[in-house]
Amino acid sequence: MKQQALRTIATLSFLLMLTAATAYAQSGLCRAPNAILLATGLEGATGSTVGPGGALYVTEGAAGRISRVDPQTGEITTFASGLPKSIIGIGGAIDVAFIGQTAYVLVTLVGSQFGGTDVVGIYRVDGPDSFTVLADIGEFNLENPPTIPFEFFIPTGLQFALQTYRGGFLVTDGHLNRVLRVTLDGEVTELIAFGDVVPTGLAVSGNTVYMAEAGPVPHLPQNGKVVSFGPKSSTVAQVASGAPLLVDVEFGHGRSLYALSQGEGSGEPAGSPALPNTGSLVKVNGDGTFTIITDGLDRPTSLEFIGDTAYVVTLTGEIWRIDGVSCPPFGVSR
């Protein structure tokens, strides 16, 4: 009788919680997540950031351009052009970050191995069509190859994410499996190295770095992880796992942590994007799992938050605005 009573109490408690959450979401105070197409027409969109004026700034590797996107209207204007373009369908200008009013752009896969002549590294934006190379990451990688054994075939690496950190930058290399630290003087050092985990997106809270791992090909869900480490760490702590091909991690409203899954791996060759319409925005739970907030995303590449609203950039040149992300996780399909 006692066990039956406890089960009854637990069931009633769950139903009351569910009813309260539903009422809260329907009250107008909190709306269930809703995905809206904000903008289209971007070319080879990969990285993004929230910059001056609270606007979105998006890298377009195929066009060698950074575009400014109004987060309310979706209006697209050119912020800077003339950057190195992608040569092999991925790369060129791949991510962007601001320190104050100055933009810095991460450029990758544009060296001589691919028939290019541009520097692989970080460029400072000096004007609408003028840039200065801040750090030659490609040269650093040639002179300092990984010491942890795994197979690689691009000696200059495939840099993926650019994140401001302690007056400089952090850069993930998804091919050479490490995080680099870069100062504003252009000095490049290795902060932390890994095995074949394919590090991608970055977020920072204080001195702690949160990093997404896509995992090795074929990017199985159990290898899609969010991990954390400090500035002097040699190992990482696992925060959550269970979503395939994670490409970004960001803090949302209320300091909740979210990650972006590009979706089911499409297989060889290495570096291929996920299968169409299998991506998702997921929330990191305290027990190390993920909860799906929005699914059906088509090859997403980057995630930003402005208040309670998430903005997802896709490889197909779209930006999706997802409102009500911090509401009870009912989930929503695109």
Say if residue 4's pLDDT is above 80. no
Please report the DSSP string for 271-297 in residue order. TPPPPTT-EEEEEEPTTS-EEEEEEEE
Structure tokens at 234: 């040699």
Percent of the chain at pLDDT exceeding 90: 83
Q: How would residue 328 be classed by pLDDT, with cut points 50, 70 and 90?
A: low
Confidence grade of residue 25 (pLDDT, cut at 50, 70, 90): very low
pLDDT tens per residue, range 200-215: 999 999 999 999 999 9
**In degrees, to the nearest 5, what angle opens at C-alpha 308 toward C-alphas 304 and 313?**
25
Quick one: pLDDT at residue 16? 33
| Secondary structure (3-state) at 255 | helix
Q: Is the pLDDT of residue 178 over 90?
A: yes
Query: Tokens 């377009």 map to which residue?
Result: 60
Residue for token digits 């691009």? 154
Torsion of CA 118, 119, 125, 130, to 10 degrees: -30
Asked whether the beta carbons of 207 and 195 are under 8 A apart, the reply is no
Lowest mean pLDDT among 8-12, 26-30, 94-98: 8-12
* CA angle (232 as vertex; 229, 233 as ends), nearest 5: 40
Residue 22 pLDDT exceeds 60: no
Amino acid at 157: G
Q: Tell if the pTM clears 0.75, that is, is over it.
A: yes
Domain ranges (residues) in the chain: 31-145+153-333
Looking at residue 9, its pLDDT comes to: 38
- Positive or negative torsion for Cα 219, 284, 330, 17: positive
Q: Tell me, which fold does domain 31-145+153-333 have in CATH?
A: Neuraminidase (2.120.10)
With cut-offs at 50, 70 and 90, classify the pLDDT of residue 272.
confident
